[in-house]
């Protein structure tokens, strides 16, 4: 789950990190009222799940309440990289002496947490890495040991931050690591982490991605789930508990398992088609789950063929077969379905399905054969 900037700052604040006071606004009048309560000058900042806000005119300094009214009116409704601005963050303005960058994410190859710190903040870290990679100081943290004060200090000194910022930076980075691990985050990023003219180190921006699979440990994360950007298809799938991502093609994809679903999307592309979605039904392929998946895909007017790719493991082939038959009885499907069924008890499943095969439900022996047929059917119907 990607958080808005203001949500990320609230998240950081819960771990006692220094962030600026601010308020969310959904209209010009709300923005003005927030600025009056906070006191000017303030920053008027677009809240969207994408970068490049400043370059697109989505971040403005407002010296007066009239400036707030003008900027809020200009920013609300602005299209930033395909994201329409619906909410603003009105934040007390900060004086900046220096800008730094700090983040934590997972280094899967090292099986450790990766911290990155740079004295060159305020720009994209990819730009720093490309133009001056030596400006990035990295630390690998063993999850069993955590980030000690000693390791954090060595890390800060290696990044060549202003010495007056060292003690505060060490403290903030340890809190950032705690937020990252205890908060079950995939990414926490501060860009910029600033040093003010009076030598305070302060969090001026927040980028946070939380692990949606850890929500059961954090009931309060429901508030973040509610603000995730989803189109109508994704919203319908989410309501049914399905892992779904809408795409722009004509071949609907259903698979059991995220890895198989990604491979299915890839193979559809490989044989010249365009997937309409990524849909992972997980380990259960019973009638209700399959009916829900088919209903979501069936409601996409761009889908011309459906590719169901199941590899039985814990879920057995005969269960999948019965689930598909039950789903077809519950949902009137418009597009033809091509099925590939393999794995545990696949032969039994194919035998159950054999009497139901027709021009609307077809079966192929391999994933590649099924992809080719689904793509051909979608092309013929387009």
Single out the catalytic residue among 5, 120, 189, 318. Answer: 189
189 catalytic? Reply is yes
Residue 282 Cα to chain centre, angstroms:
19
Single out the catalytic residue among 100, 101, 180, 224. Answer: 101
101 catalytic? Reply is yes
Q: What are phi and psi of 120, to 5 degrees?
A: -105, 80
The rounded distance, in Å, linking the Cα atoms of 207 and 189 is 5
Catalytic residue IDs: 101, 189
């Amino acid at each position: 789950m990607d958080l808005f900037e203001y949500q990320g700052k609230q998240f950081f604040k819960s771990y006692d990190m220094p962030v600026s006071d601010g308020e969310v606004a959904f209209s010009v009048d709300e923005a003005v009222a927030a600025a009056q309560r906070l006191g000017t000058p303030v920053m008027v900042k677009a809240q969207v799940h994408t970068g490049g806000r400043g370059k697109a005119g989505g971040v403005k300094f407002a010296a007066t309440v009239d400036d707030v009214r003008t900027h809020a009116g200009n920013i609300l409704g602005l299209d930033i990289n395909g994201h329409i601005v619906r909410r603003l963050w009105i934040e007390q303005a900060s004086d900046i002496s220096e800008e730094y960058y700090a983040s934590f994410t997972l280094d899967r190859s090292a099986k450790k947490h990766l911290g990155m710190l740079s004295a060159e903040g305020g720009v994209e870290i990819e730009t720093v890495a490309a133009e001056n990679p030596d400006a990035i100081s990295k630390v690998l943290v063993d999850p069993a040991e955590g980030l000690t004060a000693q390791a954090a200090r060595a890390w800060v000194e290696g990044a060549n931050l202003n010495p007056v910022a060292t003690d505060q930076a060490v403290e903030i980075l340890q809190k950032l690591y705690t937020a990252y691990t205890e908060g079950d985050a995939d990414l926490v990023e501060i860009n910029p982490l600033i040093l003010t003219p009076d030598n305070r180190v302060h969090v001026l921006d927040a980028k946070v991605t939380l692990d949606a699979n850890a929500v059961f440990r954090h009931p309060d994360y429901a508030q973040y789930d509610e603000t995730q950007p989803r189109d109508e298809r994704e919203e319908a799938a989410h309501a049914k508990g399905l892992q779904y991502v809408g795409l722009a093609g004509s071949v609907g994809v259903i698979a059991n398992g995220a890895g198989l679903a990604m491979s299915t999307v890839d193979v559809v592309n490989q044989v010249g088609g365009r997937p309409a979605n990524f849909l992972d039904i997980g380990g259960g392929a019973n009638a209700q789950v399959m009916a829900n998946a088919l209903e979501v895909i069936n409601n996409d007017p761009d889908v011309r063929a459906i590719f169901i790719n199941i590899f039985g493991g814990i879920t057995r082939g005969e269960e999948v077969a019965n689930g598909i038959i039950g789903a077809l009885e519950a949902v009137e499907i418009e597009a033809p379905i091509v099925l590939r069924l393999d794995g545990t008890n696949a032969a039994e499943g194919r035998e159950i399905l054999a009497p139901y095969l027709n021009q609307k439900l077809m079966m192929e022996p391999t994933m590649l054969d099924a992809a080719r047929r689904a793509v051909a059917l979608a092309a013929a119907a387009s």
